[in-house]
Structures are given as structure tokens and as C-alpha cells.
Amino acid sequence: MRESVTFVTFARNDKDRLRTLIETVRPHLGPRGEVIVVDQSSDDGSYELACELADRTIKRTRKGYPDPDRNYGYAQAKNDWVFTCDTDELPDEKLLTVLPKLADKSHGVRVYWLRRQNLVDGVDIFPILKEDWQPRLFVKGALQYSDQMHTHPQIDGPLQMWVDTGCIVHNRTMAQIEGASKNRALAGDPQMQAKEAQFKQAVKSFLETGTVMEGV
């Protein structure tokens, strides 16, 4: 039996992309689908827009990145299935078409890994990030995130599936990467800041030369 899905996203001063994301995803969530926005104290109107478009909007303190709020946000879902993207991501039509078929517990699958395509200034940076699979459709409670940035969650689900239909498009500009890096400095993690600096340098070099830096 196909089931309705709760979509959860995390926002911080990103109202234009937030609107596009919600309006793109909502028609594919099923008859009892819901949208939850976890907002990190936006001051650009994102929170007010979320209150208008989402079924529930939850305001949290600013942390610079969404990972500390993921477990809390997913736990608020009313449906058994959770689908999630950040506001700088957008699922393509192929993925959205198969989404309702995947959200079916009779398959026995608890976690679906979805392909992510990474673009910067419209350029695919696959040579830097390679294959990028993310666990973005799952049964509520199947994932447990740490507070650390960019770590895969612990997974409670013996049966997982990798979906090769469609993808989530992660589309950023170099300016947005620079801004996100400044926000993440709030986390105060020197090791993560060093990784961020290396990534920025690698992306800049790739955009300028079309080649990947050694050691990346």
C-alpha cells in the first residue's frame, strides 16, 4: 500500500529557494502528505513564508548548519515515511515520479539512498565529489544524526535500497559556498573549517581550470 510522506526541510535566510522547494515537492507527498520547515531564526522573511506554505514551522536557534536539528525535525513527522532535502537542493521530476511508489512498507525497505548531483555556478563538480548518495527517504526513526556537520547518520534498518532513478540536484553558486562557510564558522570546529577551506579551494581551481587539484 502506498503511503503518504512527510517532507522536512531546514531553512536559514533562503526564502526564494524555500518557496520553490516546497511548491515542487508538495504535490508528490500523497493525500495526507505534510511539509515541516525547521527554521534557524531567519531574518529575511523565510520564517514567515514557511508559516504560510508549510503545515508546521518550527523556529530554532541559529547554529550555522542544520545537522543539530535533524533528529528533532524528523521526529515531528506525523507520517511513517520522511523525505528530506535542504533548501539548496531540489529533487528532479524523475525522482518525484517514483517517490510515491517507494514509500511503501510492504517492500520491507526502511531507508532509500538517493543520488545527488552537485553543481556550482551551473558546473557539475562530479570530478571532485564523485558518486554522492544520500539517505533521504526513510521510515521515521530509522536514522539518527550526530550534531557534527556532514556526517552520515546511524541507520536502524537491515534492508536499504539505492535508487538510480532521478536525483536530488544540489545547485549552489561560489558566493553561496563562501557565505555558508562563514555561517559554519559558528560551529567552532577547526578540523571542519580546514576541510571547508580545502573544498572551496578545490572548487575554485576546478571552475577556473577544469582540472582537479592533487590530493582532493
Say what the pTM is: 0.91
Residue in the block written with cell 515542487? 24
Give the rounded distance of the alpha carbon of 140 from its chain centre.
Answer: 16
Listed in sequence order, the residues at least 6 apart from 185 whose beta carbon sits closer than 8 Å to its beta carbon are: 64, 193
Task: Establish if 196 belongs to a structural domain.
Answer: no
First to last CA, the chain: 45
pLDDT recorded at residue 215: 62
155: CATH: 3.90.550.10
Amino acid type, 179: G
pLDDT recorded at residue 187: 58
pLDDT recorded at residue 162: 97
Amino acid type, 199: F
Task: Establish if 215 belongs to a structural domain.
Answer: no
Provide the residue-wise pLDDT of the chain in tens; the chain has 216 residues. 568 999 999 999 999 999 999 999 999 999 999 999 999 999 999 999 999 999 999 999 887 777 888 999 999 999 999 999 999 999 999 999 999 999 998 889 999 999 999 999 999 999 999 999 999 999 999 999 987 766 789 998 789 999 999 999 999 999 988 877 665 565 566 777 788 888 889 999 999 998 997 765
pLDDT recorded at residue 57: 98
User: What domain count does the chain have?
Assistant: 1
98: containing domain: 5-172
Task: Establish if 200 belongs to a structural domain.
Answer: no
CB 114 within 8 A of CB 133: yes
| Proportion of the chain in helix, strand, coil states, percent, rounded to 5 | 40, 30, 35
Amino acid type, 14: D
CB 21 within 8 A of CB 50: no
Task: Establish if 41 belongs to a structural domain.
Answer: yes
Task: Establish if 213 belongs to a structural domain.
Answer: no
Task: Establish if 14 belongs to a structural domain.
Answer: yes
CB 132 within 8 A of CB 116: yes
Task: Establish if 50 belongs to a structural domain.
Answer: yes
Paired strand residues for 155: 143
Task: Establish if 15 belongs to a structural domain.
Answer: yes
